């Protein structure tokens, strides 16, 4: 089997001015890395990981799976070492999904929530499992896929390169057929558009992979572009194609803009706050009170004296309206008081545990009912699965209780600020 056309495209998205994604497109090796930890640290982490793949000569006698694991472990070692030695890079990490074409199969190594897909006979199939909190809940039956799409913690990953000295790598291989198309992407694509949208674009642009990658990225931006978006794809053919290589024959490793000595800047001041499910409350209409009849009296009763005339009732609807206004005002005051007192523990999109004040919801128009009050150096990926479930249950507690929980985690992990 031979590698045919390849294409790749990356974009910072509509909410981020800097790109923390990196990718490798160097046949027979392809990879995606999505950094976390802020613009500088996140971009640094993904570049360190991508750079480690350049040194890809396999050890003597090593199987392809062993080679892929060795590459990912080396990438993890470099990110972890830099994060440990450099205070400015503390807490950084990155996802990594690697694909190595080997004869009649493709060997994968995977950590995080970037994804690998195969398109065969016009059908799209996801090959990797997301290492994320909501994916764990879906696999355990706690959430449906539809609920996972709007879960407030859908951006929290549970496994990444960097937090620990070694990392558990998912490895597997796929037997290939002529015409197979493989697609690697960061979650900036899959968090914005669904599989049906992806396969629709693939079917339209199957013969033009450059246009395919650009159209996928454009679709994610049209849907909101809340994160960096990167797509790498390659096809396999029975006949050897004519390949055009760079003059130097160097590996193609692409990342976002050069690192600068500025803090991450976003178009949305709450872009790092995990999206929350939208709750819309509709009040039942207030029905007017019974109104007295105002029709004219029959002619036979026209000569009735005023003393004998029936008394006209006063309309009651103004009283009900006033009562409803007062009730709504009281509910608003009570709601504002509850928001000011309530706190919950969540996680930012960069993976750091955080404490939020308010309620874990958005209302129509994208207005948040919460705000970030504390960001911990602890990463969600450092916690065990039971710890994550307990911590991110969105139970409302006091500020002292939320902070005490997070401080205990920091003390146990030796990451007190």
Q: What is the pLDDT of residue 335?
A: 67
Q: What is the pTM of this model?
A: 0.66
Cα–Cα distance for residue pair 41/160, rounded to 1 Å: 14
For 270-329, write each residue's pLDDT tens digit: 333 333 333 333 334 444 444 334 344 443 443 444 444 445 556 666 777 878 888 888
In the chain, the domains with their CATH numbers are 2-243 (3.60.40.10), 272-289+316-417 (no CATH)
What's the alpha-carbon Rg for the chain, to the nearest Å? Answer: 29
For 181-203, write each residue's pLDDT tens digit: 999 999 999 999 999 999 999 99
Q: What is the pLDDT of residue 366?
A: 53
Cα–Cα distance for residue pair 357/374, rounded to 1 Å: 9
Positions of the chain with pLDDT lower than 50, given as ranges: 244-251, 256-310
Q: Which of 45, 69, 49, 50 lies closest to 59 in space, CA to CA? A: 69
Q: What is the DSSP letter of 364?
A: T
Q: What is the pLDDT of residue 336?
A: 66
Q: What is the pLDDT of residue 363?
A: 61
Cα–Cα distance for residue pair 88/139, rounded to 1 Å: 36
Q: What is the pLDDT of residue 285?
A: 42
């Amino acid at each position: 089997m031979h590698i045919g056309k390849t294409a790749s495209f990356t974009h910072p998205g509509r909410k981020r001015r800097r790109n923390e994604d990196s990718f490798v497109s160097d046949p027979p090796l392809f990879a995606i890395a999505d950094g976390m930890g802020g613009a500088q640290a996140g971009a640094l982490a993904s570049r360190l990981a991508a750079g480690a793949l350049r040194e890809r000569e396999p050890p003597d006698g090593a199987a392809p799976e062993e080679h892929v694991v060795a590459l990912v472990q080396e990438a993890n070692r470099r990110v972890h070492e830099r994060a440990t030695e450099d205070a400015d890079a503390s807490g950084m990490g990155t996802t990594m999904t690697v694909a190595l074409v080997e004869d009649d199969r493709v060997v994968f190594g995977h950590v995080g929530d970037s994804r690998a897909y195969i398109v065969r006979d016009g059908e799209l199939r996801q090959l990797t499992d997301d290492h994320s909190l909501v994916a764990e809940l879906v696999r355990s039956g706690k959430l449906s896929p539809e609920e996972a799409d709007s879960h407030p913690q859908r951006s929290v990953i549970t496994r990444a390169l960097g937090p620990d000295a070694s990392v558990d790598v998912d490895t597997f291989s796929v037997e290939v057929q002529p015409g197979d198309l493989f697609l690697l992407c960061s979650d900036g694509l899959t968090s914005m558009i669904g599989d049906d949208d992806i396969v629709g674009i693939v079917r339209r642009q199957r013969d033009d992979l450059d246009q395919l990658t650009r159209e996928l990225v454009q679709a994610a931006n049209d849907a909101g572009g809340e994160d960096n978006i990167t797509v790498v794809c390659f096809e396999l053919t029975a006949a050897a194609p004519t390949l055009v290589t760079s003059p130097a024959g160097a590996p193609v490793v692409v990342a976002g803009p050069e690192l600068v000595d500025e803090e991450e800047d976003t178009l949305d001041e709450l872009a790092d706050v995990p999206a929350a499910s939208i709750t819309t409350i509709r009040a039942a209409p207030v029905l007017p009170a019974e109104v007295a009849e105002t029709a004219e009296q029959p002619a036979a009763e026209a000569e009735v004296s005023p003393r004998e005339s029936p008394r006209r009732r006063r309309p009651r609807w103004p009283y009900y309206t006033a009562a409803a206004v007062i009730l709504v005002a009281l509910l608003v005051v009570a709601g504002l008081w509850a928001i000011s007192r309530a706190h919950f523990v969540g996680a930012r999109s960069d993976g750091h545990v955080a404490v939020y004040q308010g309620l874990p919801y958005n209302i129509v128009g994208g207005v948040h009912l919460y705000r970030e009050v504390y960001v911990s150096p602890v990463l969600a990926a450092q916690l065990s699965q039971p710890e994550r479930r307990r911590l991110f249950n969105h139970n409302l507690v006091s500020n002292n209780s939320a902070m005490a929980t997070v401080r205990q985690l920091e003390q146990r992990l030796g990451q007190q600020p």
